[in-house]
Structure 1
Amino acid sequence: MFNKVILAGNLTRDPELRYLPSGSAVCNTAIATNRKFKSQTGEQKEEVCFVDITFFGRSAEIANQYLKRGSKILVEGRLKLDQWTDQSGAKRSKHSVSVDSLQMLDSKGQADHGNDDAPAYGEPRYSNDQQNMPPRQPQQKGSGNTSYPEIDINDDEIPF
């Protein structure tokens, strides 16, 4: 079976980092994505989707260090179903995304982190399987080299 989710949007809250007893880092936050469309009446409408996301390992530490509410990101991961029992004893559930890789989409000027070491748009993605961040390469201003994420999808997988 195939379970892959790709989302691009803005963080709705600051990342929350914690460490498991094993020492592994876990970071929780949420992303908002939007879609603009015309209704049958011709009226412009917008649909917003809010999704909880979880980073693990080095990606969790990077997310906590460089991201904040409003940051633009692209994440790839897998959909999972979280189930729990609330305080009143009712069973609850929600879908969330377990992130495998992260790409920051904010440019340095927009990030406003006050940190010159923050990765800029077009730099490498950060995955859970990377032990260390790659060395930072200086970017030339006005070079016009804008890279967009590639999506490897077969035409047979598109539902329309």
Structure 2
Amino acid sequence: MLNRVVLVGRLTRDPELRFTPNGVAVANFTLAVNRPFSNQQGEREADFINVVVWRKPAESVANYLKKGSLAGVDGRVQTRSYENNESKRVFVTEVVAESVQFLEPKGSRDNTGNQGGGFDNDPFGGGPVDISDDDLPF
């Protein structure tokens, strides 16, 4: 069986970090992932996917990502259910992340969420790379 998810999107809110009674870190966040097509009005739509990450990666996510951060998530889809305060069954579908990649340099977005000059310190120049197929090792 195969249950694998790979997503790239932006956080819709700051991650929420909590700890279990045993002291295990868990962080939750929502990732907005653009669909690869436009709707009838020519606008791009997005899916809002709930993500949960555990242990040390959860602490890193809470410390380094914030609303608007671009992140890559590799994990699996999980479904669960619970009974809420009104005794109704609630079903939840979420991605349990095995790894989260930070896809922007720290400080590359300003307070309004717009791209800033975060690539100024890019050691690789930040521009297009001119390389021929003969130079590639594969």
Change (3 A) 1:52 1:107: same
Gaps of 5+ in 2: 112-117, 130-138
**Residues 46/143 of structure 1: CA separation in 2 closer, same or farther (3 Å cut):** closer
**What's the CA shift for 1:104?**
0.8
- Equivalent position SS for 1:28: strand
Q: Is 1:7 matched up with 2:10?
A: no
Q: Using the alignment, how far apart are the partners of 1:19 and 1:70 within structure 2? A: 24
Q: What is the percentage of aligned positions where both structures have the same residue?
A: 35
Give the letter aligned to residue 88 of structure 1: E
1:35-74 matches, within 5 Å, as: 35-38=35-38, 43-74=41-72
The Cα offsets for residues 82-114 of structure 1, whole Å up to 9 and x where unpaired, read as 21112221111021000001111123442459x
1:1-160 aligned at under 5 Å gives the runs 1-38=1-38, 43-112=41-110, 140-142=123-125, 144=127
Q: Distance in 2 between matches of 1:33 and 1:44?
A: 17
1:144: how far off? Answer: 4.9
Aligned equivalents of 1:78, 1:84: Cα separation in 2: 20
Change (3 A) 1:74 1:49: same
After TM superposition, the score normalised by the length of structure 2 is 0.76
Query: After TM superposition, what 4+ stretches of structure 1 lie above 3 angstroms from structure 2?
Result: 143-146
TM-score by length of 1: 0.66
State the number of aligned residues: 122
- What is the CA-CA distance between 1:37 and the residue it aligns to? 2.2
* Alpha-carbon distance between aligned partners in 2 of 1:38 and 1:51, rounded to the nearest angstrom: 19
Gap change, CA 1:23 and 1:108, over 3 Å in 2: closer
Cα distance, 1:57–1:111 mapped onto 2, change above 3 Å: farther
Decide which moves more: 30-39 or 55-64: 30-39
Q: Measure the CA separation in 2 of the matches of 1:37 and 1:6.
A: 18
The answer for unaligned runs of 5 or more in structure 1 is 114-119, 122-137, 147-160
Q: CA RMSD in A?
A: 2.6
